[in-house]
Structure 1
Amino acid sequence: MTDLAFRPPATRRVRLPARRGGVFVLAAAAVALLVLLPVLALIEIAAQGSGDLWPHLIENVLPVALQQTLLLLLGVGVLTTLMAVPCAWLVATCRFPGRAALDWALLLPLAVPSYIVAYSYLDVLHPLGPVQSALRFLLGISSPRGLRLPDLRSIGGCIFVLSVVLYPYVYLSARASFLVQSAAALEVARTLGAGRLRTFLRIAIPLARPAIVAGVTLALLETLGDIGASEFLGMRTLTVSIYTTWVNRSNLPGAAQIALVMLLLVLVIILGERAARRSRRFVATGSTRPQAPTQLTGLAAWGACLFCALPVLLGFAVPLAHLTLAAAQRIEFSGISLDILKEARNSALLATAGMLVTVSLGLVVAVAQRVDRSRITGAFVRLAGLGYAIPGTVLAIGLLTPMAAFDNLLDGFARQLAGVSTGLLISGSGGALILAYGIRFLTIPASGVEAGYAKLSPHLDMAARSLGCTRGAMVRQVHLPLLRTALATAALIVFVDGMKELPATLLLRPLGFETLATHIYAEAARSTYEDGALAALVIVLVGLIPVILLARISRSAAEGAARPSSSSKSGT
């Protein structure tokens, strides 16, 4: 009797996932396990111990690396906020000359990798470079020793370089929040005697706080994973320490132990972001009508224009102008090297393969979330999205051992069954690097397809099912055609991110395999970074396409989110 009473619930629990799309749920679980694989491998590698190197790391490496990393995170967090939030407020709520162009131009620094900006500014701000030479000419100083600007190879210089590249993350999220803020709360503050500045500080910023915190978190995660600009500007951050411990000291367990410290810092940043968003909630009650832009005139209008143009000038225009001039001089002197064409082809092949893998994995995760909204599926989706928070150097170390083990296992089977050796089939061919791209950028297509699904009514699924369509056929025949725009956008962004990815590419690429990013890094290491100007210019020009597309999508999405609010008010 007891057995009969307990069998039906057990039977239902077993059959429910299959009835609700168990194949997709299992696929999402496999993707989540794939994302966790490098972390688990990292723990196993670190547990092997680094011999007598660990005391040296604790005494001499970790204190300096932690100090510089924390200072860098603090400086970038503050400076990106000070640059991005006022620009987002001005563009979203005011009208002034150049506003329409600056609305999307403020995103252009996303097209320029941080290491390229560092190389460019080191030339531009060199004692014999154009800036200091022009200042000495204006002040009548003949000797370079008579006027010296602060050295860019410092913690302040690194904070400046990373901030002018990463502020668009904060700008993008803050602008979207300001665009949909209710006009009622701001108008009430104005009627109670608060000026524009006080309204901005006391009302608008608290309402946009979750979006600002999310944008700053993304900027901090990018800062934590940076290796090109940080190493080139003389920083000894955790990421740089991982690279030097692995490559220069040939101690993989020691690098894994530093990587675990870095992962703990990543976890602290993510938990801090969630705590900051939950600790204080601000809700604007009443009308949800978005505010009308305020027309600025006179000095205020031109001041707003110059303030918003300055980040674009520093983060995009100056590096682009320098790269264009340096590339033109290099082409005039020695022509276009065939090596650049080969490296561009390698970059494109890797980025394309990574794009296909990443978009496929992201589609699997998004489809699983669509067909099964259970808690277990939600947990798998959240785990799969953590890949973006894992820096490239950490991914590289975490994937090295599992991929090598898989190659050895495959080679053993091939020897037993066919008497042939497959060698390093995945690691030697760049398969580990493509997998790293897939894990690192998985969040982009997953969130993009999820946003596309949000526009598709669940009634479409019901109609397809009522017509006898299986879940697989429904995804192929109904969902995919309607998600083409979201998939194409995600694919383009992943492709460009793969073109400019440096840390994972530097550590996992096959021997003798060079890309545009590694070519630039090698030239910088030889202090001949001007020879990499053409490669850098190619990366920047390719990166412009998704940035412009992202600007258009973000503006239309924000305006679309504001329209239902106003229409619902009129309907009420």
Structure 2
Amino acid sequence: MNHQLPFYWRAGSWLLALLLFSPVVALVVEALAPSGTLFEHLWNTVLPTYIINSILLIIGVSILGAILAIPAAWVMANTNLPGKAQLQWLLILPLAMPSYVIAFIYTDLLEFAGPVQQLLRTITGWESAADYYFPEIRSLGGAIIILALVLYPYLYLLARTAFLEQSQSQVLASRLLGCSPLNSFFRVSLPMARPAIITGLALMGMEALGDFATVSYFSVPTLTTAVYDTWLGYGSLNAAAKISAMMLLVVMLLISTEKYSRRRLQLYQKNTGQEQKEHIALIGKTKWLALGWCWMLVILGFLLPSLILVNYLIRYFESSWNAELFQYGLNSLMVSGSAAAVACFVALFLSIYQRLKNDTFAKIPGRLVSTGYALPGNVLAIGVLIPLALTDNWINELLIQWGQSPVGLIFSGSALTLVFAYVVRFSAVAVGSVESSLGRVSPSLDMASRTLGCHPQGMVKRIHIPLIRKGLLAGLLLVFIESMKELPATLLLRPFNFETLATWVFQYVSDEQLEYAAPAALVLVLVGLVPLIMLNRSLERQEQS
């Protein structure tokens, strides 16, 4: 099926794709430009430390995340653990908690003046830090622990799905050959789930590499903080672009690893849906160990930080409930809502073009637009700054040549920059949602409408949009939520005196006063819960079907 589309639709699809792909091109071009003395100085002094710390952070978060997630995923998929129905969705809730909020809370709990060490000194009679050793939370190790607590659900979700889809006959065969449940796990279940595990580790690695707030709060120098300091501290866009390009290479390596792992999926036999899943009955110490492990993850990753935020809200309500909260909330609503609307328009435009054109060439714009989702926030910010700053300079120089007064930074110095960055970063979410909905619309409806003389524009208006409105709304909601929570790009691109809820909370975290931003932090947590609830319902429907 190939309908004749108007020229403006074809041209518009490619223009939108190239516009949203331009930050990636600009970043690469700027990174390849001749460097000044600053980047050479950084390379000879601190940059190797930043690179080593970033690699250690990725490796540490991946290893610890695997230790936390894989046992919980296997238990949820293969046992009849008490409270399993509640635990299997509670285990994904730490994704809703901003990492820098958890970093502040655990620093407050575990530092020398915190309640944990105070209790330890009361019990033992120790009086000073010289009397005992206590691990320093503000360190690379602390950052690894905090990020692993927040990011392990990525691996948990993928590993749990992989364990559920595995052929029960292979597991039973290993048991008949004398394997215990533990041996069967290491010899059969774990190797079969390896592609999904590698995918989860790659996602965790990309998120850990792109994290700015936690490593900044813990004063751990990484490539992410190097980009931020190079641009805001030294004002060198070229050096920041070169460091960003290094991060982009790491992201590409992680994505390539993930893509390669998915190629192996076809080699494994999956559950056909006709097999009866045998759940292992846990008893005695094994049951309590599994329960303790899963509830530990829920409590440390979500429940304890949430309760502390609620406590802050109650104790400091009069100070924290103020006009700034509403102003910055409105700022977040404005830029996030605008980005969500634009992203959904882009997704609808490109998805309809791909469906009606129906060839390999028509898929390219959607793939180009989706590229931005893989970029860490601060890398994206540098890529966005370059073309927008060039555009502003070109407009001002043109006005001066015409004898007019320059208009200033109308793009790179306004909230439009944030909207553009959010659209570049999160359009992939909207495109995926719209494409998925369109894929469920039967092509016979298109052919029937054409037979009745309906033009492509009328077909989109009368058939496609009404049928995919749920997918459009889901894409709109997801882009809005992701934009509300975005921090690194917002810190680099926001105009002067412009705060969002995310930057406001981070500012209070940096000033060791999170209690005064507890309402905003709770709003971000509640907003983050929405997509997790949607995801959990989707998984439940898949398991029941």
* TM norm. shorter chain > 0.5: yes
SS at structure 1 position matched to 2:60: helix
Q: Retained in 1: the 8 A contact 2:64–2:148?
A: yes
Match of 1:129 among 111, 114, 138: 114
Aligned to 1:310: 296
Aligned to 1:192: 177
Match of 2:158 among 147, 168, 173: 173
> Per-residue displacement from partner, 1:126-172 (whole Å, max 9, x unpaired)?
22222223333444545565445211111111111111111111122
Q: Retained in 1: the 8 A contact 2:195–2:265?
A: no
Q: Equivalents in 2 of 1:418, 1:184: separation in Å?
A: 80
| C-alpha spacing 1:301/1:458, structure 2 compared with 1 (3 Å) | farther
Q: Retained in 2: the 8 A contact 1:385–1:442?
A: yes
Displacement of 1:43 in angstroms is: 2.9
Aligned to 2:142: 157
Alignment of 1:277-292 (within 5 A): 277-278=262-263, 282-284=267-269, 288-292=273-277
Displacement of 1:261 in angstroms is: 1.2
Query: Structure 1: which 5+ residue stretches go unaligned?
Result: 1-15, 564-572
Q: Retained in 1: the 8 A contact 2:313–2:320?
A: no
Q: Does 1:329 align with 2:315?
A: yes
Aligned to 1:65: 50
AA of the residue aligned to 1:121: Y
Q: Retained in 2: the 8 A contact 1:351–1:498?
A: yes
Aligned to 2:433: 448
SS at structure 2 position matched to 1:19: coil
Q: Does 1:395 align with 2:380?
A: yes
Q: Retained in 2: the 8 A contact 1:114–1:228?
A: yes
Q: Does 1:93 align with 2:68?
A: no
Aligned to 2:418: 433
Q: Retained in 1: the 8 A contact 2:2–2:356?
A: no
Q: Equivalents in 2 of 1:522, 1:503: separation in Å?
A: 12
Displacement of 1:498 in angstroms is: 1.1
| C-alpha spacing 1:21/1:309, structure 2 compared with 1 (3 Å) | farther
Q: Equivalents in 2 of 1:281, 1:61: separation in Å?
A: 45
Alignment of 1:94-493 (within 5 A): 94-141=79-126, 143=128, 145-278=130-263, 282-284=267-269, 288-294=273-279, 296-299=281-284, 300-332=286-318, 334=319, 336-410=321-395, 422-493=407-478
Q: Retained in 2: the 8 A contact 1:21–1:368?
A: no
Aligned to 1:10: none
Q: Retained in 1: the 8 A contact 2:66–2:155?
A: yes
Displacement of 1:175 in angstroms is: 2.1
AA of the residue aligned to 1:177: A
| Two-structure CA RMSD over aligned residues (Å) | 2.6
TM-score by length of 1: 0.88
Q: Equivalents in 1 of 2:386, 2:524: separation in Å?
A: 31
- Worse overlay, 222-231 or 209-218: 209-218
Q: Retained in 1: the 8 A contact 2:199–2:261?
A: no
> Per-residue displacement from partner, 1:82-122 (whole Å, max 9, x unpaired)?
22222122212222111111111111111111121111211
AA of the residue aligned to 1:105: L
Q: Equivalents in 2 of 1:87, 1:290: separation in Å?
A: 23
AA of the residue aligned to 1:445: A
Q: Retained in 2: the 8 A contact 1:221–1:266?
A: yes
> Per-residue displacement from partner, 1:439-486 (whole Å, max 9, x unpaired)?
111221222222223333333323333332223322222222222222
Q: Does 1:553 align with 2:531?
A: no
AA of the residue aligned to 1:73: I
> Per-residue displacement from partner, 1:11-37 (whole Å, max 9, x unpaired)?
xxxxx9873787655444334323431
Q: Equivalents in 1 of 2:5, 2:423: separation in Å?
A: 27
SS at structure 2 position matched to 1:161: helix
| C-alpha spacing 1:379/1:312, structure 2 compared with 1 (3 Å) | same
Q: Equivalents in 1 of 2:489, 2:320: separation in Å?
A: 30
Q: Equivalents in 2 of 1:337, 1:527: separation in Å?
A: 19
Aligned to 1:74: 59
Displacement of 1:520 in angstroms is: 2.3
Q: Retained in 2: the 8 A contact 1:230–1:237?
A: yes
Q: Equivalents in 2 of 1:495, 1:280: separation in Å?
A: 33
Q: Retained in 1: the 8 A contact 2:70–2:156?
A: yes
Q: Retained in 1: the 8 A contact 2:3–2:456?
A: no
> Per-residue displacement from partner, 1:394-424 (whole Å, max 9, x unpaired)?
1111111211233344556778899675443
AA of the residue aligned to 1:272: T
Query: Structure 2: which 5+ residue stretches go unaligned?
Result: none
> Per-residue displacement from partner, 1:348-400 (whole Å, max 9, x unpaired)?
21111111122222233333333334222333333322211111111111111
Identity %: 38
Q: Retained in 2: the 8 A contact 1:182–1:291?
A: no
| C-alpha spacing 1:289/1:138, structure 2 compared with 1 (3 Å) | farther
Q: Equivalents in 1 of 2:426, 2:404: separation in Å?
A: 38
Q: Equivalents in 2 of 1:85, 1:282: separation in Å?
A: 21
AA of the residue aligned to 1:303: L
| C-alpha spacing 1:177/1:286, structure 2 compared with 1 (3 Å) | closer
- Worse overlay, 271-280 or 189-198: 271-280
SS at structure 2 position matched to 1:95: coil
SS at structure 2 position matched to 1:236: coil
- Worse overlay, 233-242 or 383-392: 383-392
- Worse overlay, 356-365 or 436-445: 356-365
> Per-residue displacement from partner, 1:165-198 (whole Å, max 9, x unpaired)?
1111112222222233322222222222222222
| C-alpha spacing 1:100/1:22, structure 2 compared with 1 (3 Å) | farther
Displacement of 1:68 in angstroms is: 0.4
SS at structure 2 position matched to 1:474: helix
